[in-house]
Amino acid sequence: SYRKGGYHAVRIGDPFASGRYIAQRKLGWGQFSTVWLAYDTQSSKYVALKIQKSAQQFAQAALHEIEVIRSIADGDPSNSKCVVRLIDHFKHTGPNGQHLCMVLEFLGDSLLQLIRFNRYKGLELNKVREICKCVLIALDFLHRELGIIHTDLKPENVLLLSTIDPPKDPIRSGLTPILERPEGGTLNGGSTMNTIEKKLKQRARRAIANISSRRGSMGGEALKPARCLDGIDMRCKVVDFGNACWADKRFAEEIQTRQYRAPEVILQSGYSFSVDMWSFACIAFELATGDMMFAPNTGEGFSEDEDHLALMMEILGKMPRKIAVGGARSKDFFDRHGDLKRIRRLKYLPLDRVLVNKYKFTDTDAREFMEFLSPLLEFSPEKRPSAQQCLQHPWLNLRSSDGQSKVDAGMNKLKI
Ligand code: ADP
Ligand code: MG
């Protein structure tokens, strides 16, 4: 990817914007960009520098993202809406072409890293509530005040506020001969979480999908005690507006990352703000359990889309016929009765049962969490609450008294 039109190769110490920003180390990367910790010599602060690939289509996408986050910054002068802040943007010319660069406030680990760090065991519900509040504040602001749909909400795109201090002595300039490649993906190399994480055995993300035999069985790896996450402030911000759109100016039919995709997107029956609410519910579930809510696969005789719809119905109940047959792609999956064409036998297990049986929630925790989540997972998009309504939900202000919501006291004693 380091060729004409591709990524810009960055060396630590490289200057940007006539020497105002100095590259320190790589923070992350995406399909279109690499993101660097940089030192802003003007404000004497650290920033995140997102450097886009140079080809025309990537530049176009970056211009769009800049337009969106600029309107976000204009709408939130006090920077209190839990959305990443744009500080500056400029063009940088390198051997592979001209790259659009965004200077963003420097944030910390993503929710995905947090989930991994907690060994896919799920966070305490009190922490889940704090994160949910932040994401809802962001969504309410984007939806109601700006008319923007994010369209790609997922744990990777919600970052915690940085809990680590970057180096006291920034690299001012100079050419350290280190060329970091995006696939080297060191993410926040110096963060506490990643250092510990590296020591932990990596394991694949599991999914509750595996309830059903047609998708194979789960690996039976023994659970080790969760790491203590006490003292980590659970505030976060939504990032990555590369795919965001205005509700009255949509671009793509197929939006969202697979596991967080709403049913109306699969069926192509039109979408609006409520697609973000669906993804939000999937994130909340994943935070609380450590598993993705829906992780569909292609199987023999059925597509990933059809598996996805089956998984939804197994937990949420049968999709109302009118909705099932109402989309441009409905005929690919449903017969005229509203039954799936190729996956005939569904194994229903309602959400609260999943939480109790598989994740060892108490009955009360499971019921309360389900009351919060299930309206957001309505098959009918119009029935889903708005972010504003959701912020009023009593679940957000409940407190688990001992800070430990699950019945895993045995595990707790082992906590290091
Ligand atoms: P893409 O559009 O290419 O997916 P993102 O904006 O999602 O790019 O950024 C890619 C990764 O870079 C993120 O997942 C995160 O790890 C890191 N990152 C992005 N923005 C910041 C930031 N403001 N502070 C710290 N890390 C960031
Ligand atoms: Mg991203």
Residue 4 has what pLDDT? Answer: 84
- Is there a binding annotation on residue 133? no
CB 296 within 8 A of CB 308: yes
User: Which residue has the least CA distance to atom 7 on ligand 1?
Assistant: 240
Closest approach atom of ligand 1 to CA 31: 3
* Maximum average pLDDT range among 51-55, 58-62, 261-265, 343-347: 261-265
Least confident window among 61-65, 97-101, 186-190, 282-286: 186-190
User: Which residue has the least CA distance to atom 12 on ligand 1?
Assistant: 28
Segment 260-263 long-range contacts (CB within 8 Å, at least 24 positions apart): 260/152, 260/153, 260/154, 261/308, 262/381, 263/309, 263/312, 263/319, 263/323, 263/379
How confident is the model over 291-303, as a mean pLDDT?
96
Q: Taking 70 as the threshold, does the pLDDT of residue 409 lie above it? A: no
The first and second tokens of residue 323, run together, are 């909705």
How confident is the model over 53-62, as a mean pLDDT?
91
Dihedral sign, Cα of residue 21, residue 25, residue 28, residue 33: positive
pTM: 0.85
Residue 7 has what pLDDT? Answer: 87
How confident is the model over 201-225, as a mean pLDDT?
31
Q: What is the dihedral of CA 197, 200, 202, 204, to 10 degrees?
A: -90
Rounded (5°) CA angle 144-160-287: 85
Closest approach atom of ligand 1 to CA 30: 3
Q: At what angle do helices 125-140 and 274-289 cross, to 10 degrees?
A: 160
How confident is the model over 29-45, as a mean pLDDT?
92
How confident is the model over 164-177, as a mean pLDDT?
66
CB 89 within 8 A of CB 104: no
Q: What residues flank ligand 1, with Cβ below 6 Å?
A: 27-33, 35, 48, 50, 84, 104-107, 110, 156-157, 159, 187, 239-240, 242
CB 289 within 8 A of CB 122: yes
Residues 140, 273: Cα–Cα separation, whole Å: 10
User: Which residue has the least CA distance to atom 14 on ligand 1?
Assistant: 156
Q: How confident is the model at residue 131 (pLDDT cuts 50, 70, 90)?
A: very high
Rounded (5°) CA angle 220-221-222: 110
- Residue to substitute in 24, 27, 84, 162 for testing ligand 1 pocket (most ligand atoms within 8 angstroms of CB): 27
Closest approach atom of ligand 1 to CA 65: 2
Residues 343, 196: Cα–Cα separation, whole Å: 42
Give 36 Cα–ligand 1 centroid separation in angstroms: 9
Closest ligand relative to 239 C-alpha: 1
Q: How confident is the model at residue 165 (pLDDT cuts 50, 70, 90)?
A: low
| Sheet with 33-40: strands ordered across | 15-16, 21-29, 33-40, 45-52, 97-105, 86-94
Residues 272, 319: Cα–Cα separation, whole Å: 19
* Chain center to CA of 392: 23
Least confident window among 104-113, 122-131, 210-219, 380-389: 210-219
CB 29 within 8 A of CB 182: yes
Give 5 Cα–ligand 1 centroid separation in angstroms: 20
Question: Exposure pattern of 148-187 as b/e (b: 16+ CB <10 Å)?
Answer: bbbbbbbbbbbbbbbeeebeeebbeeeeeeeebebeeeeb
Residues 238, 84: Cα–Cα separation, whole Å: 6
Residues 311, 101: Cα–Cα separation, whole Å: 40
Least confident window among 53-57, 233-237, 314-318, 401-405: 401-405
Q: Taking 70 as the threshold, does the pLDDT of residue 193 lie above it? A: no
ipTM (interface predicted TM) = 0.98
* β-bridge partners, 94: 97
User: Which residue has the least CA distance to atom 25 on ligand 1?
Assistant: 107
Q: Taking 90 as the threshold, does the pLDDT of residue 180 lie above it? A: no
Mean pLDDT of the chain: 84
Q: Taking 60 as the threshold, does the pLDDT of residue 408 lie above it? A: no
- Residue to substitute in 35, 113, 256 for testing ligand 1 pocket (most ligand atoms within 8 angstroms of CB): 35
Give 173 Cα–ligand 2 centroid separation in angstroms: 28
